[in-house]
Each structure stands twice: as C-alpha cells, then as structure tokens.
C-alpha cells in the first residue's frame, strides 16, 4: 500500500492525517510573520499615540520606508497561499447548513452539524475576506506610496485611497484575530499548521467529508485503521471493533 502522505499510527494508537505540506506551512508562517510586522508598522504610522512602535523598526523614517515593502512581500506571499487554497474554499451547500447552525457550532453540538470538506464556512469567510482586503490594501497602498507613485495621482484620489487603506487594514486585523482565536479555541487545530497533521478524531469531528476523501485517496483501508482514524482523541487507548 503506498503511503505518499504520512498517516502514522503512534502515541497510544492514534492515527494522524496529513493536512498541510511543509512548503504550505512555511508559506503560511511567512505570511503570518509579515502580517504581524505590517500591522505593527502600520499602526505606528496610524496614530501619534502608537508612534512608539516605530522603535521596533529603527525609528519613524525607517518605519515609513519599510512598511510598504512589508506590504509588497505580504501581497506576494498571500498570493501564493491564495493559489494553493482557493479551490478548497469555494462555497457549497454544506456551508449554508453549517452557517444556519452557528449556535450549535459555538455550543460544540457537533452531532447536529453537517459533515464538512476541508474547510468550514467560517474559514472560507476568513479566506475570501483576507483575499479582498489584502488586495484593497495593496492597491490603495500603491496610490499613497509617494516615493514611487506620488506624481501619478492628485491629492483627492490619495485621500480616498488612504481611507480605503486604513479601513481595509482595520478589518483585516479584526479578521485575523478571529482566525487566531478559532485556531486556539478549536483544540487540535494548531497542530495542523505546526506539525502538518491532525488526529483522526479531529478530522472526524470537524471535517468528516475531507477525512473520508483522504482515507479513500491514500489508502487508510482496513476497518481497524478507519476506526482509528475516526475515533476521537482518547485519553486511553481504544480497541477497534470486533470483525
């Protein structure tokens, strides 16, 4: 049986299902680091009370010079994330059903939720929200980047661009708070981006359709393995069902 995606059964009999490749995770964490630096440098230029943050980047003038470059690199890094994940974030009927049951989501009533593919509607909103907002920030940022593009537009479009830039940045920061909170709140999710895999129990609970597809595609074939993949992370080792 070929094992091109590592499903390792170890640590008390748990099965792990691969969720992200190393390259995908590096792309994600580079984007996250850039987003953090962009946020800190942007906030330091946004309001005088936050000016002290320029100390992190060597003072006011250097922060002003480096902030747009963080933005350019973030845009390129996010573009790579976008092309990796856009097709998995396309909306479908399950998203409508899941959204209608948002009360059950927050109260952890997973038994009432539809089976989902790789991402839920909340994750898809974060994905498309960030795609739109980062594009808005990038384009409006070019309009207000005086050093290179100052002569291309008059002051009026620059004012509008600055407003769009600030509002888009604010929304993007709020969305990332939700993204990070969800990653911490839903136990076992962080592991996906840290180690690249999740337990079979996590996959069964949160993204069952995706798990079935993975199991079929990568040959988690025997009943015992399917059971192990589906069994929620146990405190003690669970026995597979009798044949």
Q: Are 188 and 199 in contact (CB under 8 A)?
A: yes
Residue whose tokens read 């480096």: 66
The least CB distance from residue 156 to ligand HEM, in Å, is 30
Which run of H or of E encompasses 208? helix 208-218
Under rule CB under 6 A, residue 98 binds ligand HEM: no
The least CB distance from residue 107 to ligand HEM, in Å, is 20
Which run of H or of E encompasses 141? helix 121-143
Cα 34 to the chain's mean position, in Å? 14
Select 186 or 224, whichever has its Cβ closest to ligand HEM. 186
Considering only CA atoms, which of 204, 185, 188 is closest in space to residue 113? Answer: 204
Q: Which of residues 136-195 bind ligand HEM (CB under 6 A)?
A: 176, 179-180, 183, 189-190, 192-193
The least CB distance from residue 90 to ligand HEM, in Å, is 11
Under rule CB under 6 A, residue 35 binds ligand HEM: yes
Q: Are 80 and 30 in contact (CB under 8 A)?
A: no
Token pair for 9: 């059964």
Under rule CB under 6 A, residue 85 binds ligand HEM: yes
**Residue 47 among the catalytic residues:** no
The least CB distance from residue 103 to ligand HEM, in Å, is 21
Q: Are 184 and 191 in contact (CB under 8 A)?
A: no
Residues that bind ligand HEM (CB under 6 A): 19, 28, 31-32, 35, 78, 81, 85, 89, 119, 123, 127, 130, 176, 179-180, 183, 189-190, 192-193
């Amino acid at each position: 049986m070929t094992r091109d995606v590592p499903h390792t059964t170890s640590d008390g009999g748990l099965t792990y299902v691969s969720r992200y490749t190393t390259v995908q995770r590096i792309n994600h964490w580079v984007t996250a680091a850039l987003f953090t630096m962009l946020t800190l440098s942007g906030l330091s230029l946004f309001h005088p009370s936050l000016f002290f943050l320029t100390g992190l980047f060597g003072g006011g003038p250097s922060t002003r010079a480096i902030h747009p470059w963080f933005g350019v690199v973030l845009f390129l890094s996010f573009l790579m994330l976008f092309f990796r994940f856009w097709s998995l974030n396309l909306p479908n009927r399950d998203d409508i059903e899941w959204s209608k049951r948002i009360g059950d989501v927050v109260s952890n009533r997973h038994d009432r939720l539809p089976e989902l593919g790789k991402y839920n509607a909340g994750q898809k909103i974060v994905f498309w929200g960030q795609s739109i907002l980062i594009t808005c920030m990038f384009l409006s940022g070019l309009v207000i980047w005086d050093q290179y593009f100052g002569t291309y537009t008059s002051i009026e479009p620059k004012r509008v661009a600055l407003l769009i830039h600030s509002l888009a940045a604010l929304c993007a920061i709020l969305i990332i708070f939700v993204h990070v909170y969800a990653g911490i709140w839903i136990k076992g999710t962080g592991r996906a981006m840290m180690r690249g895999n999740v337990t079979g129990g996590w996959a069964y609970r949160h993204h069952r359709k995706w798990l079935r597809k993975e199991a079929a595609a990568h040959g988690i074939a025997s009943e015992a393995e399917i059971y192990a993949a589906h069994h929620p992370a146990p405190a003690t080792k669970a026995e597979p069902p009798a044949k």
